[in-house]
Chains A and B, each alone.
Chain A
Amino acid sequence: MSQSRELHPLINYGLVPLLQLVLAFAVAGLLIVLIGQNPVQAVQLYITDVLLSPVGIGQSIYYATTLMFTGMAVALAFHAGLFNIGGEGQGLVGGIAMTGIALLMMGHFTGDISLLLPGFLAVPILFLFSALGGAAWAAIPGYLQAYRGSHLVITTIMFNAIAFSLVLFLLTGWFQNPETPGDPKSPLFPESWWLWKLGDFYQYQLIGLEAQYQEFKDAGLKVKDIKAQHADFWNERAMARSMKNSAANVSFLFALLLAVGFWFFVWRTKWGYAIRAVGFNQTAARYGGVNVPRTMVMTVCISGALAGLATTNIILGNGSDSEHVLRETGLVGLGFVGIAVALMGRNHPFGIILAALLFGSLFQWGEVIQLKGQFIRPKLDIDKEIVVALQGLVVLFTGALYLMVVWAVQWFATRILGGWGFVKEEIGEERA
């Protein structure tokens, strides 16, 4: 078999993903040219308004947080050779479970608010329920895959659709916010349960800065005088004003911790060993004493729990004050993007963190193009859904056409670079 030629790790983990990304971005750039816009401008906007702007970085981290959860959810299932594309549905049901317990505590059903716990008690409970909800929604497809042989991909697609109907049913009924009858959303979560976000710090700082500003004003200084005489103060205030809605929040740190936990679980525990064994070879795993069906169900449940947790970042960690609610949009497609993140990150938590940050920044890029493209000259008129097309290209080149790139690199390495030691020929290659 031709694949038994092994590539140098530097090529395998460095060059190949890089080439795949370059291909995806090249095609996206071509698309921008085809619709008559300037790709250089789009890249400029990415650098100035996403990579080099504090607001851009903050928002990228916010999106990346959700993507780390959904990416790890997909990656864990991949390790067991399973494909969980139900992240979207599991996130929704995680949101339903979390909102259910939250509304119970808020007295939405009974009118009794004695259960309204303070944030430090309530938030862990909400996290727990979102994970439980996601796990429960994944358990049925997991069971059907493990014990009845129904294909996980198909069942999770069906469960995504069922979850969507379920959440609409709840949001137009039991979970409906009584103040907004036409708008299917849950009541607002109490402020004490919102996650600490980066913007809070600036909002707090801004109180002092605005007081200072008022003092300057009272002293009879004009705006341009303040700018000239107190440049440091002025910059600090501008920064705080732009950052006060920054949605990057503590669950990013939680996701980072979880990534370490993911690594430990998969590579350092017996359960992780069982999962990888099932992924490599089910027969061998069974022979080695692994309970294959049970391992499958466990994997899919943990995967679902991770997808369920993603919803906490969207509801509790939202940047907009009025959006701390459950909506039928759930993970807003980030559950699917988790697949791209897992593919890009090669199912390793470190890779997933990098890929999540990349995709997070691309999301922010889409927002920036939509918001700012109209105001720069010459006008940059691109729909923000171009980011979805770019995701498709990344999935295509890193996942579906993976071997195309690998074969090209192999051909190049063996024919052109020949004996440079980048390719190790396996001795005793099996030939039937």
Chain B
Amino acid sequence: MEFIELMLSLAQSTLRFTPILIFAAMAGVFSERAGIVDIGLEGKLLIGAFVSATVAHYAGFGLAGLFAAMGACIVFGWLHGLATITFRGDHVISGLAINFLAVGLTKTIGHALFAKGGDTPNLGGPGSTGWERLQGLIPKQFWLDLAPGLSENPLLLNILSIHGWLIILAFITVIGTWWVLIQTRFGLRLRFVGEEPQAIDTAGASVTAYRYAAVTIAGALCGIGGAYLSTSNIASFTPGMSADMGYLALAAVIFGKWRPFQAMLGCLLFGFLFAVKDRLDGASEGILTQIPSQFFEALPYILVVVVLAGFVGTARAPKAVGRPYVKERE
């Protein structure tokens, strides 16, 4: 019985961590399959989290924060595109620059706006209408104001407010990513841009346009991930709150061998390990305390190194990943 309870609570917290990883990982799948290495996932998550929490605070409306976060992350995606696609810069260096910028800008601007050491104001505090946060598409408070009797029926209330819709969206995103990449002409070409850009060029399509499309989609997805982090998962932004989730998502992409569904499984596994670690940090007794919590923290990274080393199947990156495409006649 105790075991079942433990498993249930672990499953619940896994579901809470995983969407962040999934959004970032799908962003990673899109960029990497188009030949763009995206170390900047981490920074974009942080920027998305900051922008969504800030805009949601000022607008009093979480969805506005979500769209603003997507916009901001797309802009940083374009910056990455400008550096790597147009000016043929190194992908890793550009990504690192974005990560530096994310840490520096969020803290500097956050401090200038709110003077709370970089934190944004709490969105769920007293006097909030419920619209500031994104836990449900329509806040529970809205339904309760309409029909106070609903508080006796939490299940119906959850369904009506579409509680946790971003978690559902995360899994829909995986299906969407698979469908776009594998089933559409756009996806086919996008994958070719990452494998054999010359072929796409010869076919008369623009490699540059496809790569910019990839960084745009990746930016938008990172924005949703960031918004989930700061306006759904918890109710404010704190500096450095992405806590290497972007790197972990990149790890999940590699773990999933650059395929959407496998990457999602990687995210679920890493999310589960994260949940176990989180539980261990608080626990004093139980079946899991024999193992140090840091082991679970490090395990995802160790697994990825094992996969990368080629001890489990073969992990082959898209062929043209990280290489600028230069037209032959120029």
Shortest distance between the CB of A140 and any CB in chain B (Å): 8
**With A31-B105, A336-B100, A395-B97 as given contacts, are A155 and B305 in contact (CB-CB < 8 Å)?**
yes
In whole angstroms, how far apart are the Cα atoms of A85 and B100 in the complex? Answer: 13
Interface residues in B, total, Cβ within 8 A: 56
For window 36-50 of chain A, which residues contact chain B by CB distance below 8 Å?
A: 36-37
**With A165-B294, A166-B294, A383-B111 as given contacts, are A150 and B83 in contact (CB-CB < 8 Å)?**
no
Can you list 8 pairs linking A and B with CB atoms under 8 Å apart? Answer: A35-B109, A153-B37, A154-B304, A165-B298, A169-B292, A385-B111, A389-B105, A396-B94
**With A169-B292, A400-B90 as given contacts, are A161 and B105 in contact (CB-CB < 8 Å)?**
no
For window 69-93 of chain B, which residues contact chain A by CB distance below 8 Å?
A: 79, 82-84, 87-90, 92-93
Query: Which single member of B84, B96, B98, B292 contacts A85 (CB below 8 Å)?
Result: B96
B317: chain A residues within 8 A (beta carbon): 151
Shortest distance between the CB of B303 and any CB in chain A (Å): 9
Tell me if A388 and B96 are in contact (CB < 8 A). Answer: no
A168: chain B residues within 8 A (beta carbon): 294, 297
B110: chain A residues within 8 A (beta carbon): 383
Tell me if B308 and A154 are in contact (CB < 8 A). Answer: yes
Segment touching B, from A130-138, A281-289, A401-409: A401-409
Q: Is the interface of B mostly helix, strand, loop or mixed?
A: helix
Query: Which single member of B84, B108, B115, B247 contacts A386 (CB below 8 Å)?
Result: B108
In whole angstroms, how far apart are the Cα atoms of A151 and B89 in the complex? Answer: 18
Tell me if A144 and B104 are in contact (CB < 8 A). Answer: no
How many interface residues does chain A have, given as a range?
35 or more
Shortest distance between the CB of A318 and any CB in chain B (Å): 23
Is there a chain B Cβ closer than 8 Å to A178's Cβ?
no
B100: chain A residues within 8 A (beta carbon): 336, 340, 388-389, 391-392, 395
Is there a chain B Cβ closer than 8 Å to A121's Cβ?
no
Residue in chain A with minimal CB distance to B308: A150
B79: chain A residues within 8 A (beta carbon): 396
Q: Chain A, 147-174, contact with B by CB distance < 8 Å: what is the 0/1 string?
A: 0111101110111011001101100110
**With A158-B304, A401-B89 as given contacts, are A339 and B96 in contact (CB-CB < 8 Å)?**
yes
Is there a chain B Cβ closer than 8 Å to A15's Cβ?
no
A158: chain B residues within 8 A (beta carbon): 247, 251, 301-302, 304-305, 308
B329: chain A residues within 8 A (beta carbon): 431-432
B residues near A, CB below 8 A? 37, 39, 79, 82-84, 87-90, 92-94, 96-105, 107-112, 115, 118, 239, 244, 247-248, 250-251, 254, 292, 294-295, 297-298, 301-302, 304-305, 308-310, 315, 317, 326, 328-330
Tell me if B309 and A148 are in contact (CB < 8 A). Answer: yes
Query: Which single member of A149, A396, A431 contacts B310 (CB below 8 Å)?
Result: A149
The 4 nearest A-B residue pairs measured at CB: A389-B104, A392-B100, A388-B104, A392-B101
Tell me if B83 and A400 are in contact (CB < 8 A). Answer: yes
A31: chain B residues within 8 A (beta carbon): 105, 108
A residues near B, CB below 8 A? 1-2, 31, 35-37, 83, 85, 140, 144, 148-151, 153-155, 157-159, 161-162, 165-166, 168-169, 172-173, 336, 339-340, 343, 381-383, 385-393, 395-396, 399-404, 407, 431-432
In whole angstroms, how far apart are the Cα atoms of A105 and B293 in the complex? Answer: 29
In whole angstroms, how far apart are the Cα atoms of A386 and B37 in the complex? Answer: 26
A343: chain B residues within 8 A (beta carbon): 93
Tell me if A35 and B112 are in contact (CB < 8 A). Answer: yes
**With A35-B108, A165-B295 as given contacts, are A400 and B305 in contact (CB-CB < 8 Å)?**
no
**With A158-B251, A395-B96 as given contacts, are A403 and B108 in contact (CB-CB < 8 Å)?**
no
B108: chain A residues within 8 A (beta carbon): 31, 35, 382-383, 385-386, 389
In whole angstroms, how far apart are the Cα atoms of A65 and B210 in the complex? Answer: 44
B302: chain A residues within 8 A (beta carbon): 158, 162
Shortest distance between the CB of B190 and any CB in chain A (Å): 21
In whole angstroms, how far apart are the Cα atoms of A155 and B254 in the complex? Answer: 11
**With A148-B309, A165-B294, A432-B329 as given contacts, are A385 and B94 in contact (CB-CB < 8 Å)?**
no
In whole angstroms, how far apart are the Cα atoms of A381 and B115 in the complex? Answer: 9
Query: Which single member of B94, B109, B330 contacts A399 (CB below 8 Å)?
Result: B94
B82: chain A residues within 8 A (beta carbon): 401, 404
In whole angstroms, how far apart are the Cα atoms of A85 and B97 in the complex? Answer: 13
Q: Which of B108, B244, B250, B329 has the most CB of A within 10 A?
A: B108
Tell me if A386 and B104 are in contact (CB < 8 A). Answer: yes
Shortest distance between the CB of A303 and any CB in chain B (Å): 15
Shortest distance between the CB of A411 and any CB in chain B (Å): 13
In whole angstroms, how far apart are the Cα atoms of A204 and B129 in the complex? Answer: 64
